[in-house]
């Protein structure tokens, strides 16, 4: 007997497993939700979502492919006219599995698999990334302008310091010149006094 390459083996053979999945998918599309074991729900989910993807295309070829699995034409009609258009904007994830408690008797883990009925809303993360990308180039010129403004401020402060220092240097030079004049005048006065005293000594 061939063994499955991945997943569980439902039933005793591959044909039995196909029959189980076909019947589970038919019941899911007919009622919208079914209760089964967790192993069967996990096997049914990708199988049913592939059929819904074919129903979204809606052409004759995909309808014939779905009819190979779902034998009930009424369920196929519902799948192509109601369920398929309902998931037209959703890229995937058409079903949801909710775990239940263990079944009484054999303690098998149970789960509910159902079609997602909430309207699809794209995530806002892509918009946030776009806004971040848009705002980043705008922040770059601001960063480039900041050093220029700093350089301008430094240049202005340097000019002001130079202008303030220049008058102070001029005042200092004037003060030194005045001191030199006073010293020269004092020296000349001392020389005159010395000359007068020498003349008085000579007359005496």
Average pLDDT over all residues of the chain: 77
Looking at the structure, tell me whether residues 81 and 162 fall in a common domain. no
Looking at the structure, tell me whether residues 76 and 165 fall in a common domain. no
Cα 113 to the center of its chain, rounded Å: 33
48 in helix, strand or coil? helix
In sequence order, the 6+-apart residues with CB closer than 8 A to the CB of 89 are 120
Say how far apart CA 190 and CA 184 lie, in whole Å. Answer: 10
Whether 4 maps to a domain, the answer reads no
Looking at the structure, tell me whether residues 18 and 111 fall in a common domain. yes
Statement: the pTM of the whole predicted model exceeds 0.75? no
Looking at the structure, tell me whether residues 106 and 193 fall in a common domain. no
pLDDT digits (tens, 9 = 90+) for 57-104: 999 999 999 999 999 999 999 999 999 999 998 999 999 999 999 999
What CATH number is attached to the domain comprising 45? 3.90.1030.10
Q: Virtual CA dihedral for 14, 20, 23, 28, nearest 10 degrees?
A: -120
Looking at the structure, tell me whether residues 93 and 153 fall in a common domain. no
Query: What is the pLDDT averaged over residues 138-156?
Result: 54
Q: Which residues are registered as beta bridge partners of 197? A: none
Number of domains in the chain: 2
Which of the two residues, 143 and 27, has the higher pLDDT score?
27
What integer pLDDT is reported at residue 13 of this predicted model? 86
Whether 79 maps to a domain, the answer reads yes
Whether 1 maps to a domain, the answer reads no
Helices marked H in 79-124 — which ranges?
84-86
Looking at the structure, tell me whether residues 97 and 142 fall in a common domain. no
Which H helix or E strand runs over 11?
Answer: none
Looking at the structure, tell me whether residues 92 and 21 fall in a common domain. yes
What integer pLDDT is reported at residue 118 of this predicted model? 87
Looking at the structure, tell me whether residues 100 and 147 fall in a common domain. no
Q: Which domain holds residue 47?
A: 14-115
pLDDT digits (tens, 9 = 90+) for 36-63: 999 999 999 999 999 999 999 999 999 9
Whether 3 maps to a domain, the answer reads no
* Structural domain ending residue among the three candidates 91, 115, 139: 115
């Amino acid at each position: 007997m061939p063994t499955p390459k991945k997943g569980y083996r439902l039933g005793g053979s591959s044909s039995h497993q196909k029959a189980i999945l076909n019947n589970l998918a038919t019941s899911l599309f007919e009622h919208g939700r079914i209760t089964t074991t967790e192993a069967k729900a996990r096997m049914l989910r990708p199988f049913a979502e592939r059929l819904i993807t074919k129903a979204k295309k809606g052409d004759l070829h995909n309808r014939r492919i779905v009819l190979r699995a779902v034998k009930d034409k009424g369920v196929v009609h519902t799948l192509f006219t109601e369920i398929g258009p309902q998931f037209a904007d959703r890229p995937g994830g058409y079903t949801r599995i909710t775990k239940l408690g263990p079944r009484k008797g054999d303690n098998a883990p149970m789960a509910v698999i159902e079609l997602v009925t909430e309207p699809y809303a794209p995530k806002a993360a892509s918009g946030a990334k776009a806004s971040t990308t848009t705002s980043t180039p705008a922040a770059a010129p601001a960063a480039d302008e900041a050093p220029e403004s700093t350089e301008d401020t430094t240049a202005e402060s340097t000019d002001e310091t130079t202008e303030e220092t220049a008058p102070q240097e001029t005042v200092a030079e004037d003060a030194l010149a005045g001191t030199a004049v006073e010293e020269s005048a004092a020296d000349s006065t001392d020389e005159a006094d010395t000359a007068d005293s020498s003349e008085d000594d000579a007359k005496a």
